[in-house]
């Protein structure tokens, strides 16, 4: 049985490749190149944008070293235009709306488990594999996406928009391992990436300053920071640079009018271009108990309205008890006890025990019947 694994040049996919080989699969690897500054800036019509290239070439060289160490063929493919059309354009459009998108979810949906899967199938693969911390159970007629064993690294949140057909063709070789176990396997086998630092953030941003990167593509519109009652307490650089519940980077000075508690982003008024801020980590305005979400994707079985499930509203968040109802086939209303900083643009991902059922993208956030200005 032939399996083609997405080899990123990191330790997780490196160990996944080793596991597949040891399990006796006919395995190849494929390195995806999804971002090229020059090409993308030409598409945008701004060839002179000062945008450093994401260090993908170094990642490719690392992937090549691991593939050579294991005696496995490494293919290379460019998905630059596909990434622009389905992930980066989505990323920009969400920020234009004042929302906080999660491009990793769309990258999995459209690139890793769609474009990659199609290309791997053309190369004769029966399955594709990724180094995600997730598991899959393939039954005779259905496949189930299961949480990774390592609760701290579980990545099913980012897989909530993949389809049953995509999951049916997928393997997750390290989902049964913890991160320390993965590192140890890499070291025991002297893999080139054994001590490589984990990547953080989005590939096309990498370690660069987020504001500097984003202003290349979207013009910033500075405005006022205001309290809930409309008092101006500072200025912001552009609403797109802030997310609900954020503390760092607000730069609000001390004042005798207010307590010494920290300030947090509590909302956005797009019409007035105002950033709404408040004091206290658990400011009441940051708490909601229901939301509306759309673009529903149910991987195996559709959740039952009114039944108790759990959900995450952001990655690595603790499970929250929920129930849901259907507004239509593509939109749900989710009910929960008070949860902090539920954010439009992020995903609500539904779980039935260890099974990830899928999720939807948060559109509106409420406390009882009061809509939050998120």
Residue 325 pLDDT > 70, yes or no?
yes
**Confidence bin at 203 (pLDDT 50/70/90):** low
Q: Which residue has the tokens 């499930």?
A: 309
Q: Are strands 287-298 and 309-312 parallel, antiparallel or unpaired?
A: unpaired
List, in order, residues 6 or more apart from 103 with CB less than 8 Å away. Answer: 87, 88, 90, 91, 202
| Catalytic (active-site) positions | 107, 203
pLDDT in tens, 84-109: 999 999 999 999 999 999 999 999 99
The predicted structure's pLDDT at residue 12? 98
| Span of 48-57, 62-71, 139-148, 298-307 with lowest mean pLDDT | 48-57
Average pLDDT taken over every residue of the chain: 92
Query: CA 122 to CA 141: how far, in whole Å?
Result: 24
Query: CA 132 to CA 283: how far, in whole Å?
Result: 35
Element holding 179 (H helix, E strand): helix 179-188
| Span of 21-35, 39-53, 131-145, 286-300 with lowest mean pLDDT | 39-53
Residue intervals in the chain for CATH 2.40.30.10: 285-371
pLDDT in tens, 24-37: 999 999 999 998 76
pLDDT, average across residues 299-306: 98
Residue intervals in the chain for CATH 3.40.50.620: 2-211
| Secondary structure letter of residue 214 according to DSSP | H
Strand pairing partners for 224? Answer: 235
pLDDT in tens, 116-129: 999 999 999 999 99
Q: Which residue has the tokens 């330790």?
A: 11
Q: Which CATH architecture group holds 220-279?
A: Roll (2.30)
The predicted structure's pLDDT at residue 254? 65
CB distance 169 to 127 below 8 Å: yes
**Confidence bin at 356 (pLDDT 50/70/90):** very high
CATH number of 2-211: 3.40.50.620
Query: CA 89 to CA 65: how far, in whole Å?
Result: 33
Residue intervals in the chain for CATH 2.30.30.280: 220-279
Query: Which has the higher per-residue pLDDT, 316 or 50?
Result: 316
CA-nearest of 271, 274, 216 to 242 is 274
Q: How far is CA 18 from CA 27, 49, 60, in A?
A: 10, 40, 17
| Span of 2-6, 68-72, 168-172, 215-219 with lowest mean pLDDT | 215-219
Q: Which CATH architecture group holds 285-371?
A: Beta Barrel (2.40)
Please report how the helices 11-22 and 179-188 are oriented relative to each other, as an axis angle in degrees rounded to 10.
70
pLDDT, average across residues 234-249: 94
List, in order, residues 6 or more apart from 199 with CB less than 8 Å away. Answer: 8, 10, 206
The predicted structure's pLDDT at residue 38? 56
Q: How far is CA 264 from CA 40, 213, 260, 341, in A?
A: 35, 23, 13, 10
pLDDT, average across residues 191-203: 85
């Amino acid at each position: 049985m032939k399996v083609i694994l997405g080899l990123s040049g990191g330790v997780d996919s490196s160990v996944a490749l080793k596991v597949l080989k040891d399990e006796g699969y006919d395995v190849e690897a494929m390195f995806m190149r999804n971002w090229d500054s020059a090409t993308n800036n030409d598409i945008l019509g701004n060839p002179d944008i000062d945008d450093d290239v994401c260090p993908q070439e170094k990642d490719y060289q690392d992937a090549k070293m691991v593939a050579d160490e294991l005696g496995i063929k490494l293919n290379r493919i460019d998905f630059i235009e596909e990434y622009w059309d389905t992930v980066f354009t989505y990323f920009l459009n969400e920020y234009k709306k004042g929302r906080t998108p999660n491009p990793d979810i769309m990258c999995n949906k459209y690139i890793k488990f769609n474009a990659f899967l199609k290309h791997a199938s053309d190369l004769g693969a029966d399955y594709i594999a990724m180094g995600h911390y997730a598991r899959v159970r393939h039954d005779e007629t259905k496949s189930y996406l299961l949480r990774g064993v390592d609760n701290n690294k579980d990545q099913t949140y980012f897989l909530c928009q993949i389809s049953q057909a995509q999951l049916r063709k997928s393997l997750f070789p390290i989902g049964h391992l913890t991160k320390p176990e993965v590192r140890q396997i890499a070291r025991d086998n002297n893999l080139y990436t054994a001590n490589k630092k984990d990547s953080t953030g989005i590939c096309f941003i990498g370690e660069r300053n987020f504001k500097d990167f984003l202003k290349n593509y979207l013009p910033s519109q500075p405005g006022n920071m205001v309290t809930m009652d409309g008092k101006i307490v500072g200025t912001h650089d552009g609403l797109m640079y802030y997310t609900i519940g954020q503390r760092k980077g607000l730069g609000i000075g001390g004042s005798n009018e207010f307590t010494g508690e920290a300030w947090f982003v509590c909302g956005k008024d797009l019409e007035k271009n105002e950033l709404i801020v408040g004091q206290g980590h658990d400011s009441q305005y940051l708490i909601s108990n229901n939301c509306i979400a759309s673009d529903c994707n149910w991987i195996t079985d559709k959740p039952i309205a009114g039944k108790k499930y759990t959900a995450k509203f952001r990655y690595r968040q603790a499970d929250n008890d929920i129930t849901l109802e259907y507004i239509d086939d593509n939109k749900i209303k989710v009910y929960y006890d008070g949860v902090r900083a539920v954010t439009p643009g992020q995903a609500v991902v539904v779980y039935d025990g260890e099974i990830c059922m899928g999720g939807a993208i948060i559109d509106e956030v409420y406390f009882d019947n009061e809509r939050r200005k998120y």
